[in-house]
Amino acid sequence: MHKETELKLRASRETLAALREHPLLKKRNKSGWQTRELLNQYFDTPERDLSAAKVALRLRRDGEVIIQTLKCRGQSVAGLSERNEYEWQLEKAKLDLKKLDATCWPEQLAELDKKTIKPLFTTDFTREYAEISWGRGKAKVVIEAALDQGTVSAGKRKEAICELELELREGDPQALLELAAELAASLPLMPCDISKAERGYRLLDADSYSLGLPSVGLDPEMSVDDAFSALAWQLLGSSQRLAEQYRFNGHWRLLQDWVECLSELRALANSLGQAGPRATTRALRTSLDALLEDWRPLVLAGNDDEDIRRAAPEQFAEELEDVRWGQFSLETSRWLLARAWTLDRNKRGERQGQAQLANWLAHELSDEARDLKLPLYQQQPEDLAEQLPRIERIQAWLHHARQVLEVPQLDRLFGELNKLHQLANQPISDESLEARVQQVLVMAQSPAWKQLLKPASTR
């Protein structure tokens, strides 16, 4: 068994051609580019039990060599994946079920009848690969760079494979992101942790394919730093998977959710106060603002305009052909991995960052709720949009962390806050102004809102 740490980046054929000649890779290429054909058959039960357990089982023909591989549940964060991998060389291209014993087979599949495992789809591609190495400080980094081109096939359905895969052989995982970010500065590279195997499952039944998004469990006693880190990784990873799936099928809801992920990441980064000094979050906020400036108005307009919804996939494809999305994704991953918001903050910021989440969040939401001054917008509903950033900060924390607070009816309050947010985004009309007044009244009378308004120390 060995642990595989890799980063997958979707690319175009033109980008792969440019990567072969990229000055950075040419300088660090210690082996020259080599080529091999990889023919892969993936297996599962008819009920997809292996997929449900996050297990991939395949046979690979690499020249004259036949390899059986089992990849087990690992972790994948914003395109950077790490999982346990078992390999066996076989004499013939037939699955050897005896190799799948208790030393490697997941416990949750212990009762599975392995005889029900059948071939499902193939991923056949040409791989051009090279050993990329350099000195990083006093440490050595070795990465295998692979340029993959081919096809995923499930019955009559096919999808092209065109990607750069970077696998860490030696060194710090941060080096993977550093190399990828340098390449993405001039080439459109899209971090994508939807594996070749997952694309095969997607082709098998595209209508019922369920896009699994990252999730985190927050504990009331965890630090604010740890909570922000977990949520930011979750939102970044979700945005990458949503972008890939929207690119694949163009379903409008995916684009809405993509914009929501970016909006929530922006709101959370802006809520840290001295725990995340503005200088440390400036680059992240600037990148998010640029993306949201283009895409949030389009989504808001498209919610009521079918022509905009129909044109959006082509516009999104143009976004992915630019370097902006890849740069944002990779630089944000580097920023999070380094926990860069914690650098150079003062003692008060350090205390806030290390504070228990439940205590900090109670004070934070209390301050935000009072500063929102809801009663004012019963008289001045036309000005409610001015409070959108504050509404979105409250909204983001209630969405992901309301379970850590001992406040009654928070689920209901979150729903009412979402309605207020929608109304604040609507164009001004007599009807929308009246709806704002009524929704402000509903919010102000909410027991949960009244509880939030109290100073946290008096609850």
pLDDT digits (tens, 9 = 90+) for 284-307: 999 999 999 999 999 999 999 999
Q: What is the mean pLDDT of residues 29-54?
A: 94
* Spatial contact of 34 and 129, defined as CB atoms under 8 Å apart: yes
pLDDT of residue 207: 73
Reading the block at residue 374, the tokens are: 């809801």
- Pairing status of strand 139-154 against strand 118-136: antiparallel
Mean pLDDT for the stretch of residues 235-264? 96
Residue 228 in this model has a pLDDT that exceeds 70: yes
pLDDT tens profile 170-223: 999 899 999 999 999 999 999 988 888 889 999 998 777 778 788 888 999 999
pLDDT in tens, 56-68: 999 999 988 999 9
- The whole-angstrom separation of Cα 346 and Cα 350 is 6
DSSP 406: -
Q: What is the pLDDT of residue 459?
A: 55
pLDDT at 2: 61
The pLDDT assigned to 82 comes to: 61
Residue from 351, 352, 357, 445 nearest 406 by CA: 357
> What's the gap between Cα 69 and its chain centre?
26
Q: Does the pLDDT value for residue 81 go beyond 60?
A: no
Residues 6+ apart with CB under 8 A from 351: none
Q: How does the average pLDDT of the chain come out, rounded?
A: 93
What mean pLDDT comes out for the span 102-129?
94
pLDDT at 214: 81
Whole-model pTM above 0.85? Answer: yes
Task: Give the list of residues 6+ apart from residue 361 with CB closer than 8 angstroms, or none.
Answer: 397, 401, 404, 405
Distance of CA 363 to the CA centre of its chain: 29
Summarised one tens digit per residue, pLDDT across range 331-373 is: 999 999 999 999 989 999 999 999 999 999 999 999 999 999 9
Q: Is the pLDDT of residue 78 over 60?
A: no
Summarised one tens digit per residue, pLDDT across range 381-390 is 999 999 999 9
What is residue 456's predicted lDDT score, i.e. its pLDDT? 65
- Count other C-beta atoms under 10 Å from residue 96's C-beta: 12
Whole-number pLDDT of residue 74: 60
One-character DSSP codes across 375-403:
THHHH-GGGGGGGHHHHHHHHHHHHHHGG
Question: Tell me, what's the pLDDT at 455?
Answer: 74
pLDDT of 283 reads: 96
Q: What is the mean pLDDT of residues 76-100?
A: 81
pLDDT tens by residue, 383-439: 999 999 999 999 999 999 999 999 999 999 999 999 999 999 999 999 999 999 999
- Asked if residue 192 lies in contact with residue 8, where contact means CB atoms within 8 angstroms, the answer is yes
**Does residue 16 have a pLDDT over 70?**
yes
Quick check: helix, strand or coil at residue 15? helix
Q: Give the angle subtended at the CA of 59 by the CAs of 58 and 62, to the nearest 5°.
A: 130
Q: Give me the residues paired with residue 36 across strands.
A: 127
User: DSSP string spanning 201-231?
Assistant: HHHHTTTT-----------TTSBHHHHHHHH
Mean pLDDT to the nearest integer, 26-44: 95
The average pLDDT across 447-456 equals: 88
